[in-house]
């Protein structure tokens, strides 16, 4: 009997932090989440790059029809 190669390949690299094994994907997710929370709570929103991105997203709003469709369904159900 040999080692199951599939099980060996499926093992993800882990980092031990305060005695707890954590995957690198989990650490990356937590770092991005905390970064987004810090950005939302700070004055970094006034950063020109962030403002440029937010303006681009807001400029696409008129082309979105999901909100109009939801409003129509609500109106028909509430009448």
The residue extents of the domains of the chain are 5-78
- Rounded to whole angstroms, the Cα distance separating 58 from 47 reads 16
Write the pLDDT tens digit of every residue in 41-66. Answer: 666 566 677 777 878 878 877 777 77
What is the rounded CA–CA span in Å between residue 75 and residue 2?
65
pLDDT, residue 47, reads: 65
pLDDT tens, residue by residue, 19-44: 888 888 888 899 988 887 777 666 65
**Average pLDDT of the segment spanning 67-72:** 80
Instruction: Quickly list H helices, 1-79.
Output: 5-10, 24-41, 48-59, 66-78
d(CA 46, CA 66): 29
């Amino acid at each position: 009997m040999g080692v199951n190669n599939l099980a060996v390949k499926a093992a993800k690299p882990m980092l031990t932090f305060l005695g707890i094994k954590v995957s690198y994907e989990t650490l990356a997710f937590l770092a991005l989440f905390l970064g987004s929370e810090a950005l939302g709570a700070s004055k970094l929103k006034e950063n020109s790059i962030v403002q440029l991105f937010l303006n681009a997203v807001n400029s696409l709003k008129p082309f979105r029809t999901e909100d109009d469709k939801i409003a129509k369904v609500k109106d028909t159900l509430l009448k």
